[in-house]
Structure 1
Amino acid sequence: MTKKRAFLFPGQGAQAVGMAKDFYDHFLLARETFEEAEEILSRNLSKVIFEGPFEELVRTDNCQLAIYLASVAIGRVIRQQLPEVLPSFCAGLSLGEYAALTLSDKLCFASAVPLVEARATFMQEACEKSPGAMLAVLGQNVDELEALLKESAAPQKVWIANLNCPQQVVLAGSREGIERMQEFLLGRGVKRLRLLDVGGAFHTPLMESARRKLSPLIQKVSLRESPIALVMNATGEEVSSLFEMRALMIQQVTSPVFWEKGIRKMEERGVEEYIEIGPGTTLTGLNRRIGVAGTTLNVEKVEDLEKLGAEVYERTLKG
């Protein structure tokens, strides 16, 4: 019997200089993916992705396109080389939702590339207008953290931005607000804190200007139905209505990401295997903390693809 499978795609923060370079070198389809995007945008993206420097790559207006391209290039190669490895569901963390939309056949690549570029540009502008930061808080559940936020009574703007897994919540807000919140939490004995390598306070009201500018572009872009289900960030639910999909793409810019809820929804729907596609292993680690019953694999390098192919072949032999 065919396994129910989910493809998962990482978000900003997973970037690394050289990501997807081995796929670019080994597979024509991956190279064509980069070349098509560069032709659409009239930009040399592969240079900053493959050579850096990291300070350039990490800029929101470079980083989002880079991770999207790396993820889609790898995902396309998986579908080409292992056509039997079909997803029943797709989901992506924050920016990764655009790769999920593309690999679930709901948003075509040629439309997605300029939309991701616009999203990245608008969010970079919002970052420059309202400099912000994001802080991962480990070892606290959301109720505990909400109580601590109220107790802090900080005048600076700080919100819960990501509910990733049990005992991991991400805060976002103004730089001053996050700095003060970090000091407050340390003073309350919350020691496991990590500043994220991102350029702003994503998924908060500080991104309102980006949401407002992106909205008309999302309203115009063509979406289509497909047999692959999509679980979206803003609700953590499966979404089939194209109207609702469009609304949630807009809402996602300023609303919290309900990642754990989305993973649990897919598990509820019978997903037995998750494949993280793109740079890093963040989502694989989150699945481990969530405690999914199914297996989680990641494909970041060509050797990961070969390993996945070997596992698929072995399963075929076993019937």
Structure 2
Amino acid sequence: MNAYLFPGQGAQHPGMGKDLYDNHEQARQLFEQANSILGFSITDMMFNGTEEDLKQTRVTQPAIFLHSVILAKVLGNDFQPKMVAGHSLGEFSALVAAGALSFEDGLRLVAARANAMQKACELQPSTMAAVLGLDDFTVEDICQRISDVVVPANYNCPGQLVISGTITGVDAACEKLKEAGAKRALKLNVGGAFHSPLMEAARAELEHAIVHTKINAPVCPVYQNIDAKPYTDPEQIKHNLIAQLTGPVRWTQTIMHMLQDGATSFTEVGPGNVLQGLVKKVDRTAVTASATAAA
């Protein structure tokens, strides 16, 4: 059984999606529709922007979402998902690809999410750090002992966790984690403390938008970040989507659950191949691939 995976922030690159725009009429129409919905030329940013342009949260999130979702649509009958999951932002792409959200509603939510997160980042200086070479329990235990806000944010694969919190909290945790034997505890170049309690203002803002958006039953189970379990009930999907901004991305557990539920291969839909690498670290025998659309 093939599982489809959708990447999150960090997978962007200059020129992303231009091949889809140039070679597929359906893609061209969807990209132009996105420009109209967003009120600025996201295609110009994606196709001609610099890496710095693409790092802006208001650009990054819709850009990755559009690349992923439009690629899934262009695949046509070749895209027959039996299970899907997305990493952080990628969860919105997965929900659109699986028919739970319309293209337009998905894009509006992603734009609202990006703006809400940007505002939350500006409220309090905060950051994230990648921790390599320690088990989950040790990282969790050290984070709990720090007096400032710092929490595990992304369980990416065994031995790779990302922590998130105030700058002082993350700095203090990094020192303790290195003392505990971490190979690396490296601060990331991000705008703020995603997937932490510091995103509460963004969660509250996005909750209103999600509550008022129609979510349908998806064509297949969607494995959601908050607890790594599969969902098809629209109300549960909404609830989990609201909790996502302040809760951790349980990616390791998501891949393990998909394997247990019969996944035999994983196809990454969108820019980059980061998720394929993470899958291989969960199970080195797993079959992985990138989705490609015929020209």
Q: TM-score, normalised by structure 1?
A: 0.87
Distance 1:226 1:145, change over 3 A: closer
Written as runs of structure 1 = structure 2, the 5 A alignment for 1:35-184 is: 35-78=32-75, 80=76, 83-150=77-144, 153-184=145-176
How many pairs align?
Answer: 295
242, 253, 258: which is aligned to 2:234? 242
188, 212, 225: which is aligned to 1:196? 188
Query: C-alpha deviations, 1:125-150, integer Å up to 9, x for none?
Result: 00111222111111111112123334
1:32 aligns with 2:29: yes
Q: Which moved more, 1:83-92 or 1:246-255?
A: 83-92
**Structure 1 residue 246 displacement after superposition:** 0.5
Partners of 1:226 and 1:212 in 2: CA distance: 25
Q: Percent identity?
A: 37
Query: C-alpha deviations, 1:15-36, integer Å up to 9, x for none?
Result: 2121122222222222222111
Partners of 1:194 and 1:96 in 2: CA distance: 24
The answer as to whether partners of 2:95 and 2:218 remain within 8 angstroms in 1 is no
State the SS of the aligned residue for 1:18.
Answer: coil
The answer as to whether partners of 1:267 and 1:292 remain within 8 angstroms in 2 is no
- In the alignment, structure 2 segments of 5+ residues that lack a partner are none
Q: What residue number does 2:217 align with?
A: 225
The answer as to whether partners of 1:61 and 1:120 remain within 8 angstroms in 2 is yes
Partners of 1:84 and 1:34 in 2: CA distance: 21
Partners of 2:245 and 2:126 in 1: CA distance: 14
Query: C-alpha deviations, 1:86-133, integer Å up to 9, x for none?
Result: 110111000000000000011000111111111110000001112221
The answer as to whether partners of 1:13 and 1:196 remain within 8 angstroms in 2 is no
State the SS of the aligned residue for 1:112.
Answer: helix
**Structure 1 residue 305 displacement after superposition:** 4.1
The answer as to whether partners of 1:271 and 1:294 remain within 8 angstroms in 2 is no
The answer as to whether partners of 1:16 and 1:279 remain within 8 angstroms in 2 is yes
Q: Which moved more, 1:124-133 or 1:18-27?
A: 18-27
Q: Return structure 1 stretches of 4+ with deviation > 4 angstroms.
A: none
- In the alignment, structure 1 segments of 5+ residues that lack a partner are 310-319
State the SS of the aligned residue for 2:153.
Answer: strand
State the SS of the aligned residue for 1:280.
Answer: coil
**Structure 1 residue 268 displacement after superposition:** 1.3
What residue identity is the alignment partner of 2:214?
S
What residue identity is the alignment partner of 2:92?
Y
What residue identity is the alignment partner of 1:25?
D
2, 5, 9: which is aligned to 1:8? 5
Q: TM-score, normalised by structure 2?
A: 0.94
**Structure 1 residue 222 displacement after superposition:** 0.6
The answer as to whether partners of 1:13 and 1:198 remain within 8 angstroms in 2 is no
**Structure 1 residue 214 displacement after superposition:** 0.8
The answer as to whether partners of 1:161 and 1:203 remain within 8 angstroms in 2 is yes
State the SS of the aligned residue for 1:148.
Answer: helix
Q: What residue number does 2:290 align with?
A: 298
Q: Rg bigger for which structure? A: 1
**Structure 1 residue 257 displacement after superposition:** 1.1
**Structural RMSD (CA):** 1.8
1:213 aligns with 2:205: yes
Distance 1:56 1:180, change over 3 A: farther
1:251 aligns with 2:251: no
The answer as to whether partners of 1:272 and 1:293 remain within 8 angstroms in 2 is no
